Amino acid sequence: MDNKDLKKRGLVGNGYSLPYNPKLTERAKDFRNNMTISEKKLWTEFLRNHKYRFRTQKQIDNYIVDFYCSRHKLIIEIDGEIHNSFERLEYDEERTKVFESYGLRVIRFKNEDVIYAFEDVCKKINEACIGFST
């Protein structure tokens, strides 16, 4: 996608980083400052000090993802109850297709998984990182 195409879609990019919508910057900051309990737990107890650098509430294309590791091209999404509706499942599927078009991988966990099966979630994240260094 060239710069003209990006601008048509309201995105900015420089060829070195993923394109993003600058209109989402304030919203991403708000999300960072108001993480859900599950996001906060995963961030403070695991990802913040992970061997590989993860970012919170990263803007990609016209979306904001919960966590992103550029080294492994890995997006981690933490899904609450809202993600159980048919409409939201379709929306999440479309988002995933957009991310995959950039060569990214998406793994999803439910809020309950992070709270009640934390070690399993951490293990799955580490497994997703193994062998995907660039």
Query: How far from the centroid of its chain's Cα atoms is residue 32's Cα?
Result: 12
Q: Which helix (H) or strand (E) holds 69?
A: strand 63-69
Q: Which two three-digit tokens encode residue 2?
A: 């060239």
> pTM for the complete prediction?
0.88
Confidence of residue 11 (pLDDT cuts 50, 70, 90): confident
134, 73 Cβ separation under 8 angstroms = yes
Cα distance between residue 58 and residue 103, in whole Å:
16
pLDDT tens digit sequence for 19-29: 999 999 999 99
What per-residue confidence (pLDDT) applies to 7?
Answer: 75
**Domain locations in the chain as residue ranges:** 3-129
pLDDT at 78 over 60: yes
DSSP states along 83-98: GGSHHHHHHHHHHHHH
Q: Let me know if domain 3-129 sits in CATH 3.40.960.10.
A: yes
Cα distance between residue 113 and residue 111, in whole Å:
5
pLDDT tens digit sequence for 101-117: 999 999 999 999 999 99
